[in-house]
Amino acid sequence: MGTIKILIGKELGNYFNSWSIYIGYVVFFCVCGFYAWLSANNLFYIGQATMKPVFAVINWLQFLMISALTMRSFAEEKRNGTLELMLTKPVKTWELIDGKFFSCLLISLIALLLTFPYYVTLAFLGNLDHGTVLLGYFGLLCMAAGYISIGIFASALSRTPVTAFFVHFGIAICFQLLFGMLAEQFNQGFMNSFFNYLSMEEHFDSLSRGILDSRDILYFCSICAIFLSLSRFCIYKNRY
C-alpha cells in the first residue's frame, strides 16, 4: 500500500504541474454550468428539482475527458523507457497500475466535486431528493473508474498516446452507447438482457434513480478488475 501511495503522489504531482489539467477542469466546470443554468433546457426550465440532466452532461464530458487523462499513462512510459526504470525498482506491476488508476480516479473525483455547488444551489431552490443525488454522484464515480481502467488498458496496449486515445474511445463507446443500442435491437430474450447487462448506461441509470443494487456495484468492480488485469497482462507480455 505504501508504494501505491508514493506512486499516486508522484502521478498527482505530475498532473498538477502542467497547465492542461487546470484547463480541463475549467472546461468541465464551464460546460456543466452552461448546460445546467444557461442552456435551452436548463434546471429552471424543466420545473423539477432534479440533477438528472446535469448528470447526463457530466457523464458524456467525463467519458471524453478520461480518454485524454489516461492516454499518456503507460504509452508515454513505454516510449520514454521510464517503464524500465520503474520495473527495475522494487515496484510490482500491479502497484504501478493501481497507482495510475487511483490517481486518475482522484482527479475525476475532484472534477465531480467542482459540480457540487450546483447541487447545493439546487437544494436551496427546490425540494431535492438528496439520496438520489448522492447515489448519482456515486454512479458517476463508478463510471469514471470503469472508463479509467479501460483507458489504462488502452494505454498499456498502445505505443503512442494518440493511439491509446482512439483505442480507449473505441472500447468505451461500446459500453457507453453501442451495447445499449444493441439491446434495443433485441426486444427481449437472452441477447437483450445480455447487452443490457454490459451497457454501462443501464447500470448508471439505476444508480441515478436512487436504487443501490449490489449487482451494479459488482458490474463496475468487474469492469475495473478485468481491464486492469488485461493491462497487467499487456505489460508482462512486453517483458517476455
Partner 1 sequence: MDVIVENLTKSFGMQKAISAVSFKARQGEVLGFLGPNGAGKTTTMKIIAGFLFPDCGEVYFGKDSIRKNPARIKQSTGYLSEHNPLYEEMNVVDFLTFIAKLHRIPRYKIDSRVVDILQLCGLEHEKHKNIKELSKGYRQRTGLAQALIHDPEVLILDEPTTGLDPNQIAEIRELIKRIGREKTVILSSHILAEIEATCDRVLIINKGKIVANGTSAELRSKSNAGKTLRVRIGSAGEEDIRQALGALPGIQKLNHPAGSPFFELQSDRETAIEQLIFDTCARNGWYIQELTPVETRLEDIFRQVTQN
Residues 14-33 that bind partner 1 (CB under 8 A): 14, 17-18
The cell numbers describing 230, all together, are 488485461
Cβ neighbour number for residue 50 with a 10 Å cutoff: 18
Minimum CB separation of residue 91 from partner 1 in Å reads 6
User: Which residue of 20, 80, 121, 222 would you call a contact of partner 1, by CB under 8 A?
Assistant: 80
Instruction: Report in angstroms how near the CB of residue 114 gets to partner 1 at its nearest.
Output: 24
Would you say 124 or 240 has its CB closer to partner 1? Answer: 240
Quote the least distance from Cβ 10 to partner 1, whole Å: 5
Q: Is 188 in the site for partner 1 (CB under 8 A)?
A: no
Q: Is 239 in the site for partner 1 (CB under 8 A)?
A: yes
* Window of 41-49, 82-90, 176-184, 223-231 that interacts with partner 1 by CB under 8 A: 82-90
Binding of partner 1 by 240 (CB under 8 A): yes
Question: 116-124 contacts: CB < 8 A, separation 24 or more?
Answer: 118/32, 118/33, 118/36, 118/37, 118/43, 118/51, 118/54, 119/51, 122/43, 122/49, 122/51, 123/49
Residue in 84, 130, 184, 218 binding partner 1, rule: CB under 8 A: 84
Q: And the C-alpha cell for 165?
A: 486515445
Question: Which three cell numbers mark 219?
Answer: 458490474
How far apart, in whole angstroms, are the C-alpha atoms of residue 236 and residue 240? Answer: 7
Considering the complex, what minimum distance in angstroms separates the CB of residue 16 from partner 1?
A: 11
Candidate list 88, 185, 188, 214; residue touching partner 1; CB under 8 A: 88
Q: Can you tell me which of 26, 92, 121, 193 binds partner 1, judged by CB under 8 A?
A: 92
Nearest residue to 144 via CA among 53, 223, 26, 232: 223
Burial of 41 (0-12, 13-18, 19+ CB in 10 A): exposed
Q: Does 82 bind partner 1 (CB under 8 A)?
A: yes
- At 92, is the secondary structure helix, strand, or coil? coil
The H or E element containing residue 204 is helix 200-208
Question: By C-beta, is 44 or 236 nearer to partner 1?
Answer: 236
Q: Considering beta carbons, is residue 92 or 209 the nearer one to partner 1?
A: 92
Q: Note the residues at the interface with partner 1 (CB under 8 A).
A: 2-3, 6, 10, 13-14, 17-18, 80-82, 84-85, 87-92, 239-240
